[in-house]
Structure 1
Amino acid sequence: MLTSTIATGLTLLVAGASALPAPNPVELIRRAPNPGIVITKCTKPGVIALAYDDGPYTYTSTLIDILDKADAKGTFFWTGTLYGCIYKQQSAVEKAFKSGHQIASHSWTHGHMGGMSAANIRTEMTKVEDALVNMVGIKPAYMRPPYLETSGQFLPVMKELNYKVITNDVDSGDWNNQSPQQSQSVFTRAGASGNGHIPLMHETYAGTVNTLTPWLINWAKTNNLKMVTVADCLGDTPENMYKPGNFTRKTGPYNC
């Protein structure tokens, strides 16, 4: 009788448990990135976030065409004045935004922000915001620090301004005169297993745009990796790529 009672109780327990709604495993593991915390790598496997610094520049439009043709999404960490005034690249900025690529900040002047005052850091960030509001109506919620410097007042100000701070886990070395072929070997060594890579690359080098990026697209497809924005690779929603709000666009002419 006791055995029968226990068996009946277990049956009812299992039945009751199965009647409860099963938790969504995606929601259990989803963790949106936090502002002011340095993030180096994707939080999910099967992806790669093609991320480019220092533009917009001469090659930006070509890079967008290469990515679009491959159904790949990139992330552009843009500056205000490093390679000329950002307003002179209006058409490229609009093209990237309309194509669904992620627009992010790389500061206004590309200075050493780790040694700046909090006030100067804020200015570096808000001037990029103002320009992007005027050009495409958005304020980025993601940024990559110049020289990857995060010391001093930098991270507290990023948290205050609600910026998600991205660095990298793979360095293409294009900034250090690495050839595209040398960069390719870096990715080959890094491999495609585990959570996805966030590489350090620069759209200001012809070799990165015309040689390394097509190779990476083929490498990603060969390894069944989806090419996504940094926000996507971190499990963030598309609308969280940008700060919320309806921002007023000022009429030109613009200057830096």
Structure 2
Amino acid sequence: MPSLTRKMHRTGAAFRAVATVAAALAATVALSGCTRVAATAPSAARATDVQARFGAVDCREAKCIALTFDAGPSEHSARLLDILQEKHVPATFFLLGRRHIEKYPELVRRMADEGHEVASHTWTHRRLTELPPEEIRQELARTNEEIERLTGRRPTLMRPPQGRTDDTVHEISRELGLAEVLWSVTAKDYRTTDSELITRRVLAQSSRDGIILLHDLYDGTVPAVPGIIDALKQRGYVFVTVPQLLAPGKAEPGKVYRP
């Protein structure tokens, strides 16, 4: 995964620019079962302004990683939010509409109120690449509207179900003001309830500028989160939301981001 070494940092901003441009050109990804897409690395997004700072965390200097959760809220989300609050860790939540946002609106509000990034995972989790354009638009627009109604803020990020995306999805996402966010770390927690296994898988794949994909609706996932956080903090990682990971750059609608 693209990142600047300390030596390059000492050499100066010129080398940063070369490295980040190279990262953007090289980041053509193929997720399992997904269409190949051109993606922008977080380090490339940050290259837009080499002098700016974003709050207390500058991921050009800090060893950042983003914790993301798909397909909630669920019955486990309140406990997850308690853990994140206790550990002082922000996360990015890609939420489902039907039977999730509809069922747990108070948790959507709590996510936003506690400083987490609230984003879209579509309304019904259908594969967008198999739908006609109008149905893709409905899947994304309905979720946007409901999140905005609950939080007062329209989402700027979305994650396509199963990571499946194509040019039509890009175009409609651009129209709706959404950037697509994929991932670099997956525990495949939908296949196991073994929290220790989930933890080991995440730790084995994690690296700087990583985006961790978990699901807070499965029984084994939330119990694994404290150990994941503690172990990665011991390795020197700083947890950030996806927008913080990209800052001072901003996610551009219609573009795909993945380390």
* Structure 2: runs of 5+ lacking an equivalent: 1-11, 25-36, 44-58, 254-259
SS at match of 1:49: strand
Residues 191 and 110 of structure 1: is their aligned pair in 2 closer, same or farther, counting only changes over 3 Å?
A: closer
Equivalent of 1:190 in 169, 185, 205: 205
- Name the CA distance, whole Å, in 2 between partners of 1:62 and 1:242: 32
Tell me what 2:109 maps to: 94
Equivalent of 1:133 in 148, 158, 177: 148
Q: CA deviation at 1:186?
A: 2.1
1:221 maps to 2:236 = no
- Name the CA distance, whole Å, in 2 between partners of 1:121 and 1:236: 30
SS at match of 2:214: strand
Tell me what 1:161 maps to: 176
- Name the CA distance, whole Å, in 1 between partners of 2:64 and 2:234: 12
- Name the CA distance, whole Å, in 2 between partners of 1:196 and 1:98: 25
SS at match of 1:199: strand
Q: CA deviation at 1:80?
A: 0.4
* Between 101-110 and 162-171, the greater mean CA deviation after superposition: 162-171
* Structure 1: runs of 5+ lacking an equivalent: 1-23, 244-256
Structure 1 vs Structure 2 CA RMSD:
2.7
What is the letter of the counterpart of residue 221 of structure 2?
T
- Name the CA distance, whole Å, in 1 between partners of 2:130 and 2:195: 32
- Name the CA distance, whole Å, in 1 between partners of 2:76 and 2:101: 14
Tell me what 1:49 maps to: 66
Residues 191 and 124 of structure 1: is their aligned pair in 2 closer, same or farther, counting only changes over 3 Å?
A: closer
Instruction: Decide whether the 8 Å contact of 1:132 with 1:139 is kept in 2.
Output: yes
What is the letter of the counterpart of residue 220 of structure 2?
G
Identity across aligned pairs (percent)? 26
- Name the CA distance, whole Å, in 2 between partners of 1:95 and 1:172: 26
Residues 42 and 206 of structure 1: is their aligned pair in 2 closer, same or farther, counting only changes over 3 Å?
A: farther
Q: CA deviation at 1:184?
A: 2.2
Tell me what 2:138 maps to: 123
What is the letter of the counterpart of residue 146 of structure 2?
A
Instruction: Decide whether the 8 Å contact of 2:65 with 2:238 is kept in 1.
Output: yes
Scaled by the length of structure 1, what TM-score is found? 0.73
Tell me what 1:181 maps to: 196
Q: CA deviation at 1:214?
A: 0.5
* Between 39-48 and 178-187, the greater mean CA deviation after superposition: 39-48
